[in-house]
Structure 1
Amino acid sequence: MARNLAAHLEIMDDPRRDRYLRLLAVVNGWPAPESPAPVLHWAVEALRTRQL
């Protein structure tokens, strides 16, 4: 199960997603969202380490 979760989190960590959300914020006049990349990297590493 942890392996599947790690795979899904890696998919979510696509830089194109962050770019899209930043552009969407600019178009709509919203504040730019924070990138979840550091949290996703940490979670994936923690899951992978736990599997060892």
Structure 2
Amino acid sequence: MNRCRAAYEAHTPLVSDEVYDILFSDLQTLESWLGLRMKNSPTKEGNHLI
């Protein structure tokens, strides 16, 4: 996810916006189920681009 975000910011996206949104949602669900979040997670407030 962080690589996708960096590529998006460099105007060379690796995946479409729709795919990123699906992956982002899946990551949020996984973090919720596990009850943890890495400090560099794109799901932290202010880190989501789209």
TM-score (norm 1): 0.41
Question: Is the helix fraction higher in 1 or 2?
Answer: 1
- Structure with more contact order per residue of length (Cα contacts < 8 Å, sep ≥ 6): 1
TM-score (norm 2): 0.42
